[in-house]
Amino acid sequence: MTAEKAPRLGILVSGRGSNMEAILQAAALGRLGATPVLVVSDNPQAPALAKAAQRGVAIAVVRRRDYASASEFERALVAELKGAGVDLVALAGFMRVLGREFLAAFPGRVLNIHPSLLPSFPGLHAQRQALEYGVRVSGCTVHFVDEQVDHGPIVLQAAVPVLPADTEETLSARILAEEHRIYPEAIRLVAEGRVRVEGRRVWILDR
């Protein structure tokens, strides 16, 4: 552990929020190395919002349709997060692509989780893509966010076998269990300053 103050974590969600819950649970157990201070959703109906509120974390809604342009929407997101003193951001099922405006506000400090072994199967329905392609192994990836979709430097991955009887639902559920394990761990590594990025390579110190 370093003597530095724990980063203040903002979590962006759009839907169910099971990764967000895993992150909040890790924080409650003192295993996150960061303090979740705000959950922001672009979707006012997201079940994640009530789950966050139940755990005593502040929530906010920023809807894309309330802004004339993508960059105004991003500025509004940044304002919410900065207003809460956020200095580390985790996308947890946030189904929008963030651009330069947002990333410039948190350089090298935005993480995402994706349900495939990137660079395979970026974008929507990654588990369905894996099944349809016929891969024997899939999994999940935590990576830094850059301006391309599901693309930035990789912090952690977990492999999950694809079984003959798998459906999109069963494969998704097995991958999700691994998501819930590696996302809090990746956040902790970054929060504790144990991650160094050189180009696409991510070095993990003192493991």
How far apart CA 110 and CA 102 sit, in angstroms, is: 9
The SS3 assignment for 1 reads coil
Q: Which stretch binds ligand GAR (CB under 6 A): 12-20, 55-63, 158-166, 199-207?
A: 12-20
114 is catalytic: yes
Q: In this complex, which beta carbon is closest to ligand GAR, that of residue 62 or of residue 176?
A: 176
Q: Could you give the dihedral angle defined by the CA atoms of residues 197, 148, 63 and 85, in that order, rounded to the nearest 10 degrees? A: 10
Regarding 15 and contact with ligand GAR (CB under 6 A), the answer is yes
Minimum separation from the CB atom of position 127 to ligand GAR (A): 8
Which of 92, 105 has the CB closer to ligand GAR? 92
Task: Let me know how long the chain is.
Answer: 207
The amino acid at residue 71 is: S
Q: For residues 161-200, which are near ligand GAR according to CB under 6 A?
A: 176, 179
Q: Judged by CB under 6 A, which of 18, 41, 43, 138 binds ligand GAR?
A: 18
What DSSP string runs through 135-167? -SEEEEEEEE--SSTT-S-EEEEEEEEPPTT--
- Catalytic residue set: 114
